[in-house]
Amino acid sequence: MSIIIPTYNQASFLHEALQSVCKQSFSNWEAIVINNFSDDDTIRIVQSFDDPRISLVNFKNNGVIGASRNFGVNLASGKYLAFLDSDDLWHPEKLDKCVSWLNASSNVLVCHGLTWFGKREGDHFYGPASRANFDTLLYKGNCIATSATVIEKKIFERVGGFTEDPNVATVEDYHLWMKIAKNGMKIGFIKQILGSYRWHSENSGTVIRQSKAERYTVELFFPIWKNRSLTDRVKIRFRHGLIDYGVARSYQVNNNYSKSWAYLFKSWVSNPFFMKTYLSFLVNIYLLIIKSND
What is the CATH number for 143? 3.90.550.10
**Closest by Cα among 185, 4, 186 to 83:** 4
For 69-121, write each residue's pLDDT tens digit: 999 999 999 999 999 999 999 999 999 999 999 999 888 999 999 998 776 67
| Contact call for residues 253 and 120 (beta carbons, < 8 A) | yes
Eight-class DSSP state of 3: E
Same domain for 23 and 74, yes or no, is yes
- State how far the Cα of 253 lies from the Cα of 68, in Å rounded to an integer: 30
What are the residues whose beta carbons fall under 8 Å from the beta carbon of 44, sequence distance 6 or more? 11
Same domain for 14 and 99, yes or no, is yes
For residue 233, CA distances in Å to 70, 217, 222, 249 come to 34, 16, 9, 25
**Closest by Cα among 31, 241, 44 to 141:** 241
Whether residue 292 has pLDDT greater than 80: no
Same domain for 153 and 285, yes or no, is no
Q: Choose the weakest-confidence range: 18-22, 42-46, 63-67, 256-260.
A: 256-260
pLDDT value for 265: 97
In terms of residue numbers, what domain contains 105? 2-203
What are the residues whose beta carbons fall under 8 Å from the beta carbon of 146, sequence distance 6 or more? 83, 85, 173
| Contact call for residues 25 and 96 (beta carbons, < 8 A) | yes
Same domain for 126 and 187, yes or no, is yes
For 178-230, write each residue's pLDDT tens digit: 999 999 999 999 999 999 998 765 555 588 999 999 999 999 998 887 788 99
Is 211 part of a structural domain of the chain? no
**Closest by Cα among 124, 19, 141 to 111:** 124
For 169-189, write each residue's pLDDT tens digit: 999 999 999 999 999 999 999
Same domain for 21 and 100, yes or no, is yes
Is 217 part of a structural domain of the chain? no
